[in-house]
Structure 1
Amino acid sequence: MRPDDWQLTEDTDDFLARAGAFLRSRPALHTMPLTVIERLRTRGPDAYGARPTVLGRLERAGEVRAVFYLTPRGRLSLTPLDPEHADDLAARLTGLGHRLPGVSADHDTAAAFAEAWQRRTGTVPTPRERLRLYRLGTLTPPQPLPAGGGRLAGERDHEQIVLWCGEFAAAVGEAAAVTAGSWAGTRFADKHFTFWETPDGTAVSLAGVTSMIAGQIRVDPVYTPARHRAHGYAAAVTAEVSRAALAAGATEVVLFADAANPAANALYQRLGYLPVIDFAGYDFT
């Protein structure tokens, strides 16, 4: 392979025309690029900041083998690559003068690219997180369910959603602040939210989902404030949005969990989610 086998563009429509079939071929594994590129398609090139998002595809003999995206504020995100192709991409990006804050991909790809980037730039990669991708098998709602029920959030709930998404982002160590003023630029702004409410109408837990793309819907985030935990609300609201996704026609319902959080992983597996692959993130310091 050669570094120039990687084709880079800032044109979302052209990228989708050439790489869309590849992304749709494995919608669960490609959940992140599918949703990021859909946002670019619907909201325009400034969807992630003042500078355009860079999109890339690895192409040989007219066939797309892998893709990446690099938003102005994010780490490089990759679909699975072997070490040779990761090194080719590092060579291509360094040759173009790109400076990367980090990389996020399946565990082996992220490690291979981080090593290649360090070898070519001297930049030291620092492990940041490890996430486990789950795909829903047979949904198994918790029994018994906690008292209350799910309710789709509306306009009147916006302030509550912003507050809880901000608390969630802080809890998982995301750098970007989530406030009313920054909301439109956050990764939460395009989600659809559901509350679990107690019988008196008190919201006690929240789950968001992406719009359906290529038959897949991703559950993200799931958040219960500390004062409401240990009552089964997170399991209930996750089951509720998972059921709704299936009812809407989704063929793949997926979510990410912190691989180091045994309680969250056990919860999702009880609901019928099956592990697919681990993802890793590295910061380049």
Structure 2
Amino acid sequence: MSWHFTEDPAVFRDVVHDRLAADPARNTTLLGMLETTGPRGWWGEHGDVGGAFVVGAPAGVLLLGVMPDAAARAPAAEPLWDGGEVTEVRGESRTVEAYARATGRSWRTTRRLRLFRLGELTPPHPAPPGAPRVAGPGDVPLALTWMREFARDVGEDPDADYTANVEARVKEGRLHLWEVDGRAVAMASVSRLVAGQARVSPVCTPPAHRARGYGGAVTSAVSRSALDGGAAQVLLFTDVANPTSNALHQRLGYRPIGDHSSVALD
């Protein structure tokens, strides 16, 4: 088997969709990027696809799907797209580390994530004060502010332009707020439904409103919305270093199914 490369999303989708959809939970990140632009590739021959990758934003971030170690090691010594160099790798921990070791470069793990899948949804009891509602166009400025705060908290670029992202979530009814006395105190969103799976992200509670149960409540509300929208699997990532978040989501009914890593190549 060998690697094949393209920057055409339609070509990539036609080749890899069935492979990714066969294990939608473990491939949730790539499934959410099928329509984005940028370099991408697959490992295989004659329709037998054994793995896939997408280069995300910012440039140089390599997102690896489920694949054998041999596939992860194969492209590590050569550029994966014209003029590009991999600076960060993300994916299942074993796959990411196989790639990083094969580069011969020094590397360090910058973040460890745990992927959870919803079993039986168990809303917080007792529920905190307030109620959920679907965000509307007038909530876009607030959601943008909170999106930037979320990006900063998880190590992404808070100065990136999230306008189109937020507007699409609001337009499609995928962004929910938790309100207390008419004031939004937390938000959560869910991805589009692809291959039967939807992923909850981001979940944001400003510091002034934390430790009151709002984050868990709005996560429960958006999870219910995803189920009602037809999701067979509802997923989310948590930071392994955050025991509070991990415990909260397990109380809501989420169960761990695998560990992911982000690795910086020096």
Q: Same fold (TM over 0.5)?
A: yes
Q: Give how far 1:16 is off.
A: 1.1
Bigger drift between 93-102 and 105-114 goes to: 93-102
- In the aligned structure 1, how far is the partner of 2:112 from the partner of 2:233? 22
1:170 and 1:253, CA in 2 relative to 1: closer, same or farther beyond 3 A?
A: same
Q: Give how far 1:37 is off.
A: 1.4
Structure 2 residue aligned with 1:48: none
8 Å Cα contact 1:104/1:280 also seen in 2: yes
1:136 to 118, 122, 138: 118
Which has the larger helix fraction? 1
Listed as ranges, the gaps of 5+ residues in structure 2 are: none
8 Å Cα contact 1:30/1:79 also seen in 2: yes
Q: How does 1:93-172 map to 2 (within 5 A)?
A: 93=79, 98-117=84-103, 119=104, 123-172=105-154
Structure 1 residue aligned with 2:76: 90
- In the aligned structure 1, how far is the partner of 2:80 from the partner of 2:222? 42
What residue identity is the alignment partner of 2:33?
V
Q: Give how far 1:115 is off.
A: 0.7
Structure 1 residue aligned with 2:221: 240
- In the aligned structure 2, how far is the partner of 1:249 from the partner of 1:95? 37
What residue identity is the alignment partner of 2:216?
A
8 Å Cα contact 2:115/2:256 also seen in 1: yes
Structure 2 residue aligned with 1:34: 31
Q: How does 1:266-281 map to 2 (within 5 A)?
A: 266-281=247-262
Bigger drift between 235-244 and 92-101 goes to: 92-101
- In the aligned structure 2, how far is the partner of 1:274 from the partner of 1:171? 23
Listed as ranges, the gaps of 5+ residues in structure 1 are: 46-52
Q: Give how far 1:81 is off.
A: 3.0
Q: Give how far 1:172 is off.
A: 1.9
Structure 2 residue aligned with 1:19: 16
- Report the 3-state secondary structure (helix = DSSP H, G, I; strand = E; otherwise coil) of the residue aligned with 1:36: coil
What residue identity is the alignment partner of 1:36?
M
Q: How does 1:206-245 map to 2 (within 5 A)?
A: 206-245=187-226
8 Å Cα contact 2:113/2:240 also seen in 1: yes
Q: Give how far 1:251 is off.
A: 0.4
- Report the 3-state secondary structure (helix = DSSP H, G, I; strand = E; otherwise coil) of the residue aligned with 1:167: helix
- In the aligned structure 2, how far is the partner of 1:32 from the partner of 1:102? 15
What residue identity is the alignment partner of 1:155?
P
1:72 and 1:247, CA in 2 relative to 1: closer, same or farther beyond 3 A?
A: closer
8 Å Cα contact 2:26/2:66 also seen in 1: no
Structure 1 residue aligned with 2:64: 78
- Report the 3-state secondary structure (helix = DSSP H, G, I; strand = E; otherwise coil) of the residue aligned with 1:59: strand
Identity %: 39
Q: Give how far 1:95 is off.
A: 9.5
- Report the 3-state secondary structure (helix = DSSP H, G, I; strand = E; otherwise coil) of the residue aligned with 2:122: coil
- Report the 3-state secondary structure (helix = DSSP H, G, I; strand = E; otherwise coil) of the residue aligned with 1:132: strand
Query: Is 2:51 aligned against 1:66?
Result: yes
1:254 and 1:18, CA in 2 relative to 1: closer, same or farther beyond 3 A?
A: same
What residue identity is the alignment partner of 2:139?
D
TM-score, structure 2 as length reference = 0.92
- Report the 3-state secondary structure (helix = DSSP H, G, I; strand = E; otherwise coil) of the residue aligned with 1:69: strand
What residue identity is the alignment partner of 2:72?
A
8 Å Cα contact 1:76/1:102 also seen in 2: yes
1:96 and 1:197, CA in 2 relative to 1: closer, same or farther beyond 3 A?
A: closer
8 Å Cα contact 2:51/2:68 also seen in 1: no
TM-score, structure 1 as length reference = 0.86
* Cα RMSD after superposing both structures: 1.8
Q: Give how far 1:274 is off.
A: 0.7
1:194-224 deviation digits (Å, cap 9, x = unpaired): 10011x1111111011111111111001111
- Report the 3-state secondary structure (helix = DSSP H, G, I; strand = E; otherwise coil) of the residue aligned with 1:93: coil
How many correspondences in the alignment?
261
1:239-266 deviation digits (Å, cap 9, x = unpaired): 0000111111110100000011000000
